[in-house]
Amino acid sequence: MALTLSVKPIEMESGYNLVLLHERDAEELGVYVGDRVRLSSPSSSLVAAVNLTGEMVGRGEVGTLLEVSRRMGLKAGDRVTVSPLPPPVSVEAIRKKMEGKRLTGEEIGEIVRDIVQNNLTPTEISAFVVAEYTRGMSMEEIVSLTLQMVETGERLRLERGPVVDVHSIGGVPGNKYALVTVPIAVAGGLTVPKTSSRAITSAAGTADVMEVLANVSFSLGEIKEIVERVGGVIVWGGSVSLAPADDLLIRTERVLRIDPPCQMLASVMAKKLAEGVEHLLIDLPTGPGAKVREAEEARSLAQDFMELGRRLRVRVEVALTYGGQPLGRAVGPALEAREALEALAGGGPNSLREKALSLAGVMLEMGGRAPLGRGREAAWELLRSGKAEEKMREMIEAQGGDPKVKPEDLPVGDKRATVEAPSDGYVTHLYNERITAIACAAGAPRSRGAGLRLFVKRGHKVNRGEKLFEIYAEHESKLEEALKVVSRSFPMRIEGMMLERLSDRPREW
């Protein structure tokens, strides 16, 4: 059964192939909401999901959303044949994973190809992500997923080397280390094509912070030209088709606020394989409030990364770093960019400088630019001498930013509120999740100037009324929202030297 219908373009994006059918036409075709149809014209053909309406399109019309109109080159009044189709084979594979069964390489390939070709609905992609999260994947499945994600995208082929990269699994507020680590490594003679993600569950991803300083959206050819000329970049991976399925899956992860370990492994390695990376350093922040809370769990995940690297012929090393409280004192894109520039100039907080130097040192050793055990020393010399800052400013200029930018030039939110200590005592704990929630409520990362700045961290002695942190927002309503989060979930624990009094004496004593 098929119908020939008149095209009515709908000026709206859905993120996947979607058409609108009048309820009576759908009834005639025997299709329901979420079913698939094939649209065929003399010059092209495409599979799309169906939604129904009684008003937006009339009988005899098919509403084509922007993705469909663009891919098929359709305009108003064109005639297309619409015929019902069964669900893609990949839907059955997703159901199989939901049941906890292992997928074959071909089944994983079907899922990845259908994701990239927009043949799956958001509901079906969500089901796959949740199945990964709850059921997990074997190492064989992860290898297949990684290779399929690389296969469906483009590759960056560089002529200079050694190609080394660093990736953090995140989960720590203020984790802007890459803006210091990467220029140190590049200044030391390494090639670092750093493609980064935007925030998934945090207040600022590396790409969000770098975008405060320069453009992060480039074509693959532009990235190659900059890297060949400058030695490195820090760009948004979603702007190019390196493992494009990863970026589509990240959208779903961001909505669900989950990051399945198996998908994380495949996502990281697929991007790095597509970049042509030979040596990869994984940063695994570990501690209370981080994605990985226990050292034993961190070591297990580290082994998975290294095993996946061995199978894919990429040398992988893993650094377990402290993730029990924010890195540095700034959380939010512009505030973090300011702090990164300060660190490159030799200032900034010790925690940021120490982490950046440690990771850069390992990278220099992995790439053969420093003797084993002397990498941190080499990294420190590159930072102390100003060569790392000079390289960062060269990268900023190559990416279209102002190479003379100063930290104070970067605008932050002018709607501000200071939160003070409610009592005397010591800061015994910082809650990463609550700090992130406050920064996000203030508008980060969408509002670049939103976030918060910490005045004290764990171990600091404070007096009642002393400043603990300041919230920055670009809109008064967002500042009020952030303060409500503070009142519900205070992000610090302040205690005296006596934590608790225990007694078995009667109360009246």
- Alpha carbon distances (Å) from 11 to 19, 195, 297, 488: 12, 32, 48, 41
CA angle centred on 185, ends 344 and 259, rounded to 5°: 90
**Peptide bond before residue 445 is cis, with ω within 30 degrees of 0:** yes
Please state, in angstroms and rounded to a whole number, the distance separating the CA atoms of residues 199 and 331. Answer: 12
Buried b (16+ CB within 10 A) or exposed e, 402-434: eeebebeebebbebebebebeeebbbeebbbeb
Tokens coding 324: 């029990």
Tokens coding 242: 């390196």
Helix (H) or strand (E) holding 495: strand 492-495
Question: Please, are residues 428 and 493 in contact by the beta-carbon 8 Å criterion?
Answer: yes
Phi, psi of 148 (to 5 degrees): -65, -35
Calculate the CA 347 to chain-centre distance: 27
Residue with the two structure tokens 């199945």: 131
The catalytically annotated residue of 165, 259, 283, 304 is: 259
Residues 6+ apart with CB under 8 A from 71: 17, 44, 46
Please state, in angstroms and rounded to a whole number, the distance separating the CA atoms of residues 221 and 208. Answer: 22
Q: What type of residue sits at position 353?
A: R
CA angle centred on 298, ends 318 and 237, rounded to 5°: 55
Calculate the CA 403 to chain-centre distance: 26
Q: Are strands 45-53 and 18-22 parallel, antiparallel or unpaired?
A: parallel
Please state, in angstroms and rounded to a whole number, the distance separating the CA atoms of residues 260 and 56. Answer: 38
User: Is 259 annotated as catalytic?
Assistant: yes
Q: What is the 3-state secondary structure (H, E, C) of 323-385?
A: CCCCCCCEECHHHHHHHHHHHHCCCCCHHHHHHHHHHHHHHHHHCCCCCCCCHHHHHHHHHHC
Question: Please, are residues 17 and 118 in contact by the beta-carbon 8 Å criterion?
Answer: yes
> Which sequence positions are flagged as catalytic?
259
